[in-house]
Structure 1
Amino acid sequence: MPVRDGSECHDVERFLLRLLAAPSLSTQEAAAAEVLRAELVTLGFEVETDELGNVIGVLDLGPGPTILLDSHLDTVGVERPEAWSAAPSGERRGDLIYGRGAVDMKGPLAACVHGVASLGTTHDAGRIVVSGSVAEELVEGAALVPIVQRVAPDYVVICEPTAGALALGQRGRAEVVVEVTGKPCHSAYPAEGVNAAEVMAEIICEVRCLPATQHPVLGDGILVLTDLASSPLPSLSVVPARCTARFDRRTLPGELLSDVLEPIRSVAERVAAQFDASTEVSLGEATYTTYTGCAVRAACFAPAWVTEPGSTVAESALQGFASVGMTLPVSHYSFCTNGSATAGALGVPTIGYGPGAPNLAHQVDEAIALSELREGVRGYAALVRGLTSRA
Structure 2
Amino acid sequence: MLKGNREQELIELAQKMIQAKSYSGEEKQAAETIGEFCKANGFDDVIYDRYGNVIGIIKGNRPGPKVLFDGHIDTVPVSDESKWTQKPFAGEIVDGKLYGRGTSDMKGAVSAFTAAAKYFAEDTNRDFAGEILIAGVVHEECFEGIAAREISKNFKPDYVIIGEASQLNVKIGQRGRGEIVVETFGKPAHSANPEKGINAVYKMSKVINAIRDLVPTEHPVLGKGILELTDIKSAPYPGASVVPEYCRATYDRRLLVGETKESVIAPIRELLDKLMAEDSELKAKVSYAVGEEMCYTGNKIEGERFFPGWLYDQDEAWVQAVVKELNNAGFNPEITQYNFCTNGSHYAGEAGIKTLGIGPSRENLAHTVDEYIEIEQLTKVCECYYGVMKALLV
Same fold at TM > 0.5: yes
Q: Following the alignment from structure 1 to structure 2, what is the Cα–Cα distance between the partners of residues 271 and 367?
A: 49
Q: Does the Cα contact within 8 Å between 2:190 and 2:243 map onto a contact in 1?
A: yes
- Per-residue CA deviations over 1:273-316 (Å, capped at 9, x if unaligned) read 52612111111111112110112221111110001101132112
Secondary structure of the 1:228 match is: strand
2: CA distance, partners of 1:87 / 1:6: 27
Separation (CA, whole Å) in 2 of partners of 1:224 and 1:275: 27
Query: Residue 94 in 1 paired to residue 95 in 2?
Result: yes
User: Which residue of the partner structure matches residue 132 of structure 2?
Assistant: 128
Unaligned runs of 5+ in 1: none
Decide whether the 8 Å contact of 1:313 with 1:350 is kept in 2. Answer: no
Structure 2 Cα separation of the partners of residues 61 and 332 of structure 1? 31
In structure 2, the CA distance between the partners of 1:264 and 1:82, relative to structure 1 (3 Å rule), is same
Deviation of 1:6 (Å) = 10
> Which residue does 1:330 correspond to in 2?
335
SS, match of residue 384 in structure 2 = helix
8 Å contact 1:72–1:135 — kept in the other structure? Answer: yes
- The one-letter code matched in structure 1 to 2:168 is G
Question: Which of residues 189, 195, 203 is equivalent to 2:193?
Answer: 189
The structural deviation recorded for 1:192 is 1.9
User: Aligned partners of 2:203, 2:163: CA distance in 1, in Å?
Assistant: 43
- Distance in structure 2 (CA, Å) of the matches to 1:194 and 1:272: 14
1:348 equivalent in alignment to 2:346: no
Identity %: 37
Deviates more, 1:131-140 or 1:183-192: 183-192
Residue identity matched to 1:305: W
1:193-220 deviation line (CA, Å, top 9, x unaligned): 2110111122112212211111111111
- The answer as to 2:61 corresponding to 1:57 is no
DSSP 3-state at the match of 1:146: helix
Quick one: distance in 2 between partners of 1:25 and 1:116? 26
Change (3 A) 1:6 1:70: farther
User: How far did residue 7 of structure 1 move?
Assistant: 8.7
Aligned positions of 1:185-224 closer than 5 A = 185-224=189-228
Secondary structure of 2:15's counterpart equals helix
Pick the aligned partner of 1:362 from 357, 363, 367.
367
In the alignment, is residue 9 of structure 1 matched against residue 6 of structure 2? Answer: yes
Report the counterpart of residue 179 of structure 2 in structure 1: 175
Q: 2:378 aligns with which of 357, 373, 377?
A: 373
1:106-117 alignment, distance < 5 Å: 106-117=107-118
For residue 33 of structure 2, the aligned residue among 32, 35, 48 is 35
TM-score, structure 2 as length reference: 0.94
Q: TM-score, normalised by structure 1?
A: 0.95
SS at match of 1:103: helix
CA contact (8 A) 2:58 2:121 kept: no
| Residue ranges of structure 2 left out of the alignment (5+ in a row) | none
SS at match of 2:103: coil
Matched, 1:315 2:320: yes
Correspondence list, 1:68-83, <5 A: 68-83=68-83
CA contact (8 A) 2:147 2:301 kept: no
Please tell me the residue identity of whatever aligns with 1:88: P
Q: One-letter code of the match for 1:357?
A: R
CA contact (8 A) 1:158 1:352 kept: yes
Distance in 1, matches of 2:268 and 2:85, equals: 44
Q: Distance in 2 between matches of 1:209 and 1:370?
A: 47
Q: How well do the aligned residues superpose, as a CA RMSD in angstroms?
A: 1.6
| 2:17 corresponding residue in structure 1 | 19
- Size of the aligned set, in residue pairs, is 385
**Could you say what secondary structure the match of 1:169 adopts?**
strand
Does the 8 Å contact 1:100/1:362 carry over to 2?
yes
Measure, in 2, the Cα distance between the counterparts of 1:60 and 1:157. Answer: 17
- Amino acid aligned to 2:94: R
What is the DSSP-based 3-state SS (H/G/I as helix, E as strand, rest coil) of the residue aligned with 1:70?
strand
Q: Distance in 2 between matches of 1:188 and 1:15?
A: 64
- Counterpart AA for 2:275: V
Q: Which amino acid aligns with 1:29?
A: E
Q: Which residue of 2 aligns with 1:104?
A: 105
User: Distance in 1 between the 2:377 and 2:391 partners?
Assistant: 20
